[in-house]
Structure 1
């Protein structure tokens, strides 16, 4: 089944191409509005979000990080995180899809050779590729056979966000009888890749995050990211995948929370009734309602400000990757861990507590206010937030820096 956006969309070809950060944020707000209009109905339908991904492409958001000379936005990560936040406020699933896409679009810069980076970004921008990824580290490693000029991926991954809506998929595996990990970008639509359509979770229902089987996916060695003559030269910058993806998570957690809070406030202004014993005529005059919105808004604003600050702190790293030291990377990851912990707590609180100020009639399935909490609750289990707090605590107490892993 395919999702169909149930209202007219915008003809983005009639709009000027955004150039500045504020113009891109305004474009993201426009996309947010289009998604929010029927987000509850599409969440209930749970259909493959082809139309939603087409919207992201038409709006230019999929090439936000792409080179301007090839038609991309030429933006940097602080803007990208804020764009993800806006889109997620309209639809948490689509915010996650965009965030993961931008991560994998950028991943060539993380591990690729200069020639690979230029080639991938040019082609991905010109063709408006939408990226998916099959890189779940909790599964057994995908096995790679070295067959001379080619490598061949075989195995299974439990999660493959983007799956059927992606044009290309990032694969990761280990060359058999070695500890050599290899990333590669491959076409998603090929006989050797089977997406199983088994994503059936309570939240983030439209992320196409089901399992995938790789049955002999062939890749030329020259396309193995970062390899020359079958040898990979490691850099400290290779370990920046975790700080970036964790800030992507923060972005759509905060976006979902903001969407919940703003949609709840709109409902409270128009539909929530004052309590019959309050002596008040309007819910917006109820002291406990005012206090709750003030409390939740203040907490959300604080974490948004921290997220923006941590994103800005990483700009020198991304602009000069070869200058990154292990200590600078570790200190940045501690800051990322801190904002990830706070974003998790605040997003869960906001999406749960809004019901206190909505009233019983707002629990109808048609309004689907529960989708905000379901979306946050589902993805915040990605990795235990206690381990993020541990990174911060160990650094404060004994100056310990996180050891780079798939999660730290």
Structure 2
């Protein structure tokens, strides 16, 4: 499938955008422009099985892949507050591409999380100037990838069930454990590295175009200098190293809410133009049907509340980013509780909206040509990433006992 080109005739070979945004509001507007392009044939592309190379090209052309990159290297120089809004806007049109963008931005930030200051500078310059698109092979539910130390190089061996971004990525973040130790090592390698094999086996009901299939890692080599956060083969830990979970969980929150908003707005358009009032009602127009009015009012209020919580938590997280080298365990733990609350609420609201819209659409809207089911399939698929009950538990234990969650792969 191809992304429908909405540009005027004769402009197909020209760049869609000539200048880059400079403010947060302009970047969010740019994301909505991207979303409008993706929305045109979103239903058809959801049914396709091709890797989303054109969608990634669109993200690169728009500048969204380097929104967090330093401005001096051509990046957007924006904060995570803006990035989350951008993810939400893109996901409203296409949940798969919203997820790809969100995961990419986390891995783009990986050097900041665990790298040395020298590595951070080098990686962010290279990633921004070359518009790298990141994938990651870091599924913690699988066995650890084993790393062997071969002097100046380290060698990764193993496999991962999921590797979001795989075939459409330029670089891939690998993670494994040094043989005979409990030392975890992250490194960024080219996605076309010898021994790195992405398998075309992602066949799930939702988020169909996220390139999240399995990967085999067979003697993938990289220099010790690529080992994030290591100097002379020794790692110097800091609390900020553990912020990858709050960041990615808030990525989840925002593309869930983006999908929910896309579902609600698309459904409202259909209701305005197509839905009919029930034959036993006392009105002639669906827009005057009291049950439909109540439905949209209820779902919209819930969405607004969840979005407001997500935005507030993003503001709190930004303060941690600004104090990355001094953040305390207590500050990190309190923030994780807030992220957990936002994740629990976003999950429940997104599932309710993406299934509930059908009450305001009518039976004819279940025709596969409309593709309304894609919103629910996308949310239902990804919200199983980690059980939402455990997020509520983090919040509940903190409220009752003051306990703060300890950093794990999921908290």
* Residue of 189, 213, 224 corresponding to 2:227: 224
* Structure 2 spans left out of the alignment, 5+ residues: none
Show the counterpart of 1:176: 179
The 5-angstrom pairing of residues 230-379 of structure 1 reads 230-379=233-382
* Residue of 22, 39, 49 corresponding to 1:19: 22
Indicate the larger mover: 252-261 or 318-327.
Answer: 318-327
Deviation at 1:14, TM superposition (A): 4.4
Q: Is the 8 A contact 1:12 1:59 kept in 2?
A: no
The 5-angstrom pairing of residues 7-406 of structure 1 reads 7-8=5-6, 12=15, 14-406=17-409
Name the CA distance, whole Å, in 2 between partners of 1:206 and 1:313. Answer: 32
Name the CA distance, whole Å, in 2 between partners of 1:229 and 1:260. Answer: 51
Deviation at 1:7, TM superposition (A): 3.2
CA distances 1:131-190 after superposition (whole Å, capped 9, x unpaired)? 000000000000001000000000000000000000000000000010010000000012
CA distances 1:40-68 after superposition (whole Å, capped 9, x unpaired)? 10001132100000000000000000000
Show the counterpart of 2:3: 5
TM-score by length of 1: 0.98
Deviation at 1:280, TM superposition (A): 1.5
RMSD (Å), alpha carbons:
0.9
CA distances 1:339-379 after superposition (whole Å, capped 9, x unpaired)? 00000000000000000110111001011100000000000
Name the CA distance, whole Å, in 1 between partners of 2:59 and 2:268. Answer: 27
Name the CA distance, whole Å, in 2 between partners of 1:158 and 1:404. Answer: 23
Q: Is the 8 A contact 2:17 2:61 kept in 1?
A: no
Name the CA distance, whole Å, in 1 between partners of 2:319 and 2:29. Answer: 26
* Structure 1 spans left out of the alignment, 5+ residues: none
Name the CA distance, whole Å, in 2 between partners of 1:211 and 1:314. Answer: 31
**1:132 is paired with a residue of what secondary structure?**
strand
Deviation at 1:12, TM superposition (A): 4.5
- How many residue pairs end up in the alignment? 406
Name the CA distance, whole Å, in 1 between partners of 2:51 and 2:335. Answer: 36
Extract structure 1 runs of 4+ deviating beyond 6 A.
none
Q: Is the 8 A contact 1:145 1:152 kept in 2?
A: yes
Name the CA distance, whole Å, in 2 between partners of 1:146 and 1:156. Answer: 18
Q: Is the 8 A contact 2:267 2:361 kept in 1?
A: yes
Name the CA distance, whole Å, in 2 between partners of 1:306 and 1:190. Answer: 41
